[in-house]
A and B are shown apart, each in its own frame.
Chain A
Amino acid sequence: MLEGILTGLSAAFTFQAIALVVLGCIIGSFIGMVPGLGPMQVIAIMIPVAVGIGEPSIAMIMLAGVYYGAVFGGSTSSILINAPGVASTVATSFDGYPMARKGFAGKALTIAAISSFAGGTIGALLLTAAAKPLADVALLFQSPEYLAVMVLGMTAVAAFGERGRAYKAVLMVIFGMILASVGEGSQFANRPRFTFSYVPLQDGISSITLIMGLFAVPEAFFLILDPKRGQYKGDGASKEITNMRINAKEAREMVPVIGRQSILGFLIGVMPGAGATIASLMGYAMERNIAPKEKREEFGKGSLRGLTAPETANNAASTGSFVPMLTLGIPGSGTTAILLVALISLGVQPGPGLINDNPEIFWGIIISMYFGNVVLLILNYPLIPYIAKLLAVPRTFLIPFVLFFSMVGAYLVSQNPAELYTMIVLGVVTTILRLARFPIAPIVIGFILGIRMEDNLGRALTDPDYVGFSFIWERPMTLAFLLIAVAMLLYPMIEGRLARRERKVVADSTMNKD
């Protein structure tokens, strides 16, 4: 093992490798900012270049740079203009964007960069330590467990329920799941649903179109409607935007979140059917539900924890998804599927034999993760103030640019103007819903998790091993996850009720005055 690590290290510290990883990071960061072009697309594009390099460990080091760059690029657009280009950064925008709009763009980007770095690095440490035993854990999971994990992810919705108006959030989740059921997105939709014989709808609403239509477009609309929106009036406002300082108190708040979420995110990434999107939503849900009451209220409005959690979890999960890929040859995500193709093209067959037959490549890949993470942090840290300045661009330029940027993302993926019409319509509908104070994030959560829940539920019901829903009690892990989900939903309610009872005495005396 040690020998393998040393071989990996010696491959990483060559001039060629360093130049390639820097180049990869820069390319990744830029392309990753364009909505619709996430890590998977960027790596797909870079495969011919990687194969051209010929040396597997160096090619992987470059791809690691591209990969981490693209992940960071995606977070940047979520935070600055509420345009999460891929599903795995949706949760980042929940709190990253409000924080940036409040005038702390530099800080938000710094938190994202640090959390990503920490999540990726701790993930790589876990991978170094326990890839082999974890591979067996990955195979304990079957459709019923995945279903339960998705239900757990759904509890994130609780963060968006207005007190006494939780049904509005529930209604929005269902609305999101309804949108997801259009077309043939689910494995069980073997005929198009709700397309009204309109061919472009057959594939369903693409997630990039939906996310842009729900987040970026309506946000730009609100910026048009209300010129004073989210603008800092106080002096020193422009200094605040580029200020990257995180004080000791905030750092102390981040550390436990990073600790929990890097481990949890990593484990979710290890499961072949889950991945970074689920990990980020679950991480967000968990941190929100276990936070102390006054911190819980900040979620969705620029919470430090709400930004740290998904950023840590999605990077840790991306790293975790290498476990089944390297040790079993099973790609658990789109990105690792493409990396698998790259490795096979380079003459490496990932699988149980890899760690013994080609230790230098196995460890080279893991070393490349540490390397990619460090280089990205070094490269991007000094750039953050300049990137954050984007928010200081006059609104007359910023708004048309944001709208163009959202549309080009959806158009690039499909080359189909029908996507743009769908996006504009979704933008208008969302604007109306927001005016009436309906929460929007639950729609996306319902949309993202809806299809996956349908697939996993369908498989569990079809499996002849179970009678109807008997998998719930026949599989202990499924039952455990479901119970945790129920507990997560009930805990804030019970806690809230207790707190209200205490406050009631005070409240009663003030109410009598009205």
Chain B
Amino acid sequence: MARLLTPDRIIGVILLIFSCLFTWAAFDLEKTIPPFFRNQPMRLDTLPRILGVFSIIASVITIISPTTGAKRVSDNKQLKESEDRMADLSFETFGQAKWGQLCAMIALMFVYASVLRLGGFIPTTFFLLLFGSILLGERRWIAMVIVSLAAPLAIWLLVTYVLQRTIVPLPAPLMNLIGG
């Protein structure tokens, strides 16, 4: 008995909504086109309109397609084994996954992105790497501090002296203090 609500269909519905919004936006682009370009064979909305329509069709096919019989048949034993080892989690093995760690890491990345300019490259990166390791369960403090300090320092030296580009290394008040 085929299930009604499969991962394919859930994603299909989300993408269908997305496709409809996109198609609407694509057909709405016309008003931004200056008069000269309206009669050109290729307009800035030509491809988006085509893509929009096709994306709706493809999403609908994804939703209505039968859900059974999608088992991979492989005669290659070695391949199958390695595939299992590399396989992504499926919806069935959801429970065992480290969702907490992942959410914490994503939050950490967002914080990093938002304080990077303000806090300077070296200290913010230090805390990103340090907290990243901590939340993954690492407790070798000395190694962590060394690695977390060495990585941003090395990249900063590379960028500043070899590539001669500017990334602000320290927080703004500190930079003013040392006259940078």
Interface residues, chain A, CB within 8 Å of chain B? 27, 30-31, 34, 37, 45, 98, 101-102, 162-165, 167-168, 170-171, 174-175, 177-178, 181, 186, 188-191, 193-194, 221-222, 224-227, 229-231, 294, 297-298, 301-302, 394-397, 399-401, 403-404, 407-408, 411-412, 415, 417, 420-421, 424, 427-428, 432-438, 450, 454, 457-459, 461-462, 468
Contact = CB atoms under 8 A, between A and B. Distances in A.
Contacts of B58: 167, 170-171, 174
B86 A31 contact: no
B20 interface: no
B85 to A, nearest CB: 6
Contacts of B158: 30-31, 34
A508 to B, nearest CB: 14
B109 to A, nearest CB: 5
B70 A162 contact: yes
B123 interface: no
Contacts of A412: 159, 165, 167
Contacts of A468: 41
8 contacts: A162-B72, A163-B70, A167-B62, A168-B8, A224-B101, A397-B143, A435-B7, A459-B42
A175 B90 contact: no
Given A396-B136, A404-B129, A437-B7, A462 B72 contact: no
B105 A403 contact: yes
Instruction: Rank and list the top 3 A-B pairs by shortest CB-CB distance, nearest first.
Output: A400-B132, A396-B138, A458-B42
Interface string B90-118: 11000011110110011001101110110
Given A421-B113, A428-B106, A396 B164 contact: no
Interface string B8-25: 101110010000001001
A438 B11 contact: yes
Interface string B71-101: 0111110010011011011110000111101
Contact of B88 (A27, A164, A191, A435): A435
Interface of B: 7-8, 10-12, 15, 22, 25, 29, 32-34, 37, 40-48, 51-52, 54-55, 58-59, 61-62, 65, 69-70, 72-76, 79, 82-83, 85-86, 88-91, 96-99, 101-102, 105-106, 109-110, 112-114, 116-117, 125, 128-129, 132-133, 136-138, 143-144, 147, 151-152, 155, 158-159, 162-165, 167
A222 B94 CA distance: 12
B86 A98 contact: yes
A412 B163 CA distance: 11
B136 A395 contact: yes
Contacts, number: 207
B86 A400 contact: no
A403 B40 CA distance: 45
Contact of A301 (B40, B83, B88, B162): B83
Contacts of B52: 178
B47 A181 contact: yes
A230 B86 contact: yes
A450 B47 CA distance: 9
Contacts of A98: 82, 86
Given A191-B34, A404-B151, A454-B47, 12 more contacts: A30-B158, A34-B158, A174-B54, A194-B25, A224-B101, A225-B99, A225-B102, A230-B86, A395-B136, A417-B117, A458-B46, A462-B41
A164 B69 contact: yes
User: Which of B51, B61, B83, B98 is the most central at the interface, judged by chain A CB atoms within 10 Å of its CB?
Assistant: B51
A191 B109 contact: no
Contacts of B113: 407, 417, 420-421, 424
A209 to B, nearest CB: 12
Contacts of A227: 98
Contact of A27 (B32, B51, B152, B162): B162
B74 A297 contact: yes
Nearest to A459: B42
Given A102-B85, A193-B48, A424-B109, A294 B76 contact: yes
Given A226-B97, A230-B86, A462 B116 contact: no
A450 B51 CA distance: 10
Contacts of B90: 435, 437
Contacts of B8: 165, 168, 436-437
B76 A298 contact: yes
Contacts of A294: 75-76
A357 B88 CA distance: 59
A397 B151 CA distance: 11
A40 B98 CA distance: 39
B167 A415 contact: yes
Nearest to A396: B138
User: Which of B46, B70, B82, B99 is the most central at the interface, judged by chain A CB atoms within 10 Å of its CB?
Assistant: B82
A434 B167 contact: no
A190 B42 CA distance: 11
User: Which of A174, A225, A302 is the most central at the interface, judged by chain B CB atoms within 10 Å of its CB?
Assistant: A174
Contacts of A424: 106, 109-110, 113
Contacts of B117: 417
A102 B81 CA distance: 10
Contacts of B129: 400-401, 404
A226 B89 contact: yes
Nearest to B79: A298
A154 B88 CA distance: 25
A317 to B, nearest CB: 26
Nearest to A411: B116
Contacts of A229: 86
Nearest to A196: B25
Contacts of A171: 12, 15, 55, 58-59, 61-62
